[in-house]
Structure 1
Amino acid sequence: MKEVIHNDYQLTDEIGRGRFGIVYRCYSIVSGDSFACKSIDKRLLSDPIDRECLQKEPKILHILGGNPNILQIYRLYEEDDYLHMIVDLCDSPDLFDRISARAGVFSEPEAATIFLPLISSIGYCHRLGIAHRDIKPDNVLFDSSGNLKLADFGSAEWFGMNERGTMTGVVGTPYYVAPEVLSGREYNEKVDVWSAGVILYIMLAGVPPFYGESPADTFDAVLRGNLRFPTKIFRSISPEAKDLLKKMLCKDVSRRFSAEQVLRHPWVVRGGETRSMADLT
């Protein structure tokens, strides 16, 4: 017998909205625990690629289940016209809102407290052969306790199922997408490292590293990959932070750090607490 969501969960107020559905706050009728319900209207999915993403995301979330910094899926209900996913309730401002509220400028230790769980979750995905492919502040959520939750795996891909470990397809978001994705070539999971590097740059500088007046201009800037550290903005940023950004935002994929290498970088290991100038000389 088909399970009916309203037998198990009470949906209350709307807390988010996307192209294909609505996110509601809900609670379990049995336990009273609070969750979020992502309800997707399947009638809006005319594109086969969108339909594939709809089927793929719950499977990937199940595979990634158990990591404290990745959105957890608890139940899945499928109706004729809707798909409902019961997931972690993340009702604190997401990273996009947090960056917007403070003009994007975080101290290095503040940025590190967000960056460490983010890159840790990315590394966990990569170890399981999954690339997120749309890392951006809007997809970095926080629960009521302030715990980071990487979300929205609709564009994710199993690169581990490919012998060469590569993927194709132009997916992602202007400002954050890696240059090799835009070039139309095959690429690997390091596209996520690039995107995380863009987020770190924005948190420290308040501006994106690659941008233009239009999406097309932004894509051109990304393709050039000419990383700069304007003196006025980066005067107070440590050499270690800039070194990490250079290794993440490296256009040469063979030289770009992996997520595991990022986790071992001194800036990350010390949580953004940089050494004194005497230690650096």
Structure 2
Amino acid sequence: MNKQLHTDYTVSEEIGRGRFGVVFRCHSAVTGECFALKSIDKRLIQHDADDGHCLRNEAKLLRLVSDHPNVIRVFDVYEDDDCVYIVLEYCGSSDLYQRITARSPFPEKEAHRVMVPLMDAIAHCHRRGVSHRDIKPDNILFNNLNHLKLADFGSAEYFHGGVPLSGVVGTPYYVAPEVVAGRDYNEKVDVWSAGVILYIMLAGAPPFYGDSAKDIFEAVLRANLRFPKSIFGLVSPEAKDLLRKMLCKDVHRRFSAEQVLSE
């Protein structure tokens, strides 16, 4: 592990694991303050050009957007021959996936309390020209003060000048139909993913589902949005209307993050 990193921080136990690396708890050698250390193994992505590009971009894009109170903060970045190490704000509470698993569906007011800071964070990223591209409950963290933090920019990409994004990234339940179809797309894929999260919070189940990734992708492509009365009977017409605008297959008609915030 990087020598300067070990001078600056004391690295302790593993607290998470992903496709390309491990997250550890660490503490500042000067102040003792607790941080999260994301270690990304270069060897695991060296044969994939898209993943390698995302690896090179992650720390840079995080620095561009992490001045927002609902985006995870980045403090230091280190690198050696084997890994990139990103020192991040530590969030000691549960993530949204754990909260949904524990007690969904959410009351509409509680879902609203999650969506406002989430969409504020997404809109901020879009204003800075960054699309997250993997919005899902696992990547929405809460700190010890219960403040929402959008995390894991490993699939994020910079967009500018109307140049479309490309590449199949994301997670089956949450990925937008234009991504599944293999078409070029724009930052509104993040709005679609957030719409799926809102639906799951209100319904306790995803809007598009199947027994396999293939079945899920086919359901996403059909984008047949339904509101069963047995589940949505107590959900307001306004919330259902917002879901229609976020989960709109026609990208031109789909709301932007700013439009969602203005509803």
Same fold by TM-score, threshold 0.5 exceeded? yes
CA contact (8 A) 1:180 1:186 kept: yes
Structure 2: 5+ residue stretches without partners: none
Once the two structures are TM-superposed, the CA of residue 164 in structure 1 deviates from its matched residue by 2.3
What is the match of residue 158 of structure 1?
A: 158
Matches within 5 A, 1:53-132: 53-102=54-103, 104-132=104-132
Secondary structure (helix, strand or coil) at the match of 1:189 reads: coil
Counterpart of 1:239? 237
Name 1:192's counterpart in structure 2: 190
What is the rounded CA distance, in whole Å, between the counterparts of 1:51 and 1:165 in structure 2?
20
Tell me, yes or no, if the aligned pair for 2:195 and 2:247 is still in contact at 8 Å. yes
Q: Which amino acid aligns with 1:262?
A: V
Paired residue secondary structure (1:154): coil
Report SS of the residue matched to 2:211.
Answer: coil
Q: Deviation per CA, 1:19-65, whole angstroms, max 9, x where unpaired?
A: 22111111101011111111122222232222221111000001113
Does 2:24 align with 1:24? yes
What does 1:196-275 align with in structure 2 at a 5 Å threshold?
196-265=194-263
C-alpha contact (below 8 Å) 2:54/2:157 kept by paired residues:
no
Tell me how far apart the structure 2 counterparts of residues 45 and 167 of structure 1 sit (CA, whole Å).
20
- Farther off after superposition, 215-224 or 18-27: 18-27
State how far apart, in whole Å, the 2-side matches of 1:206 and 1:137 are.
Answer: 13
Residue identity matched to 2:202: L
2:169 corresponding residue in structure 1: 171
- The alpha-carbon deviation at position 170 of structure 1 amounts to 1.1
Runs of 4+ displaced beyond 3 Å: none
Partners of 1:130 and 1:158 within 8 A in 2: yes
Letter in 2 for 1:131: S
- The answer (yes or no) to whether the contact 2:77–2:85 under 8 Å persists in 1 is yes
Pair member with larger Rg: 1
Q: Distance in 2 between matches of 1:81 and 1:169?
A: 25
TM superposition score normalised by structure 1: 0.90
Secondary structure in structure 1 of the residue aligned to 2:234: coil
- SS of 1:220's equivalent in the other structure is helix
Note if 1:40 corresponds to 2:58. no
> Are the counterparts in 2 of residues 9 and 28 from structure 1 also a CA contact under 8 Å?
yes
2:248 partner letter = C
Structural RMSD (CA): 1.2
Q: Distance in 2 between matches of 1:243 and 1:107?
A: 17
SS at match of 2:38: strand
Residues 72-118 of structure 1: CA deviation (Å, up to 9, x unaligned): 1100111121211100101211111111111x210011111111110
Work out the percentage of aligned pairs sharing the same amino acid: 60
Q: How many Å apart are 1:3 and its aligned residue?
A: 6.0
* Mapped partners of 1:59, 1:19: distance in 2: 20
Give the equivalent residue in structure 2 for 1:279.
Answer: none
Whether the aligned pair in 2 keeps the contact of 1:106 and 1:203 (CA below 8 Å) is yes
* TM-score after normalising by structure 2: 0.96
Structure 2: how far apart are the matches of 1:216 and 1:187?
A: 20
Q: Given residue 193 of structure 1, which amino acid in structure 2 is its aligned partner?
A: V
CA contact (8 A) 1:140 1:150 kept: yes
Contact persistence 1:3–1:77 (CA under 8 A): no
**Structure 1 gaps, min length 5:** 266-281
2:106 counterpart SS class: coil
Deviation at 1:137, TM superposition (A): 0.5
Matches of 1:9 and 1:79, distance apart in 2: 16
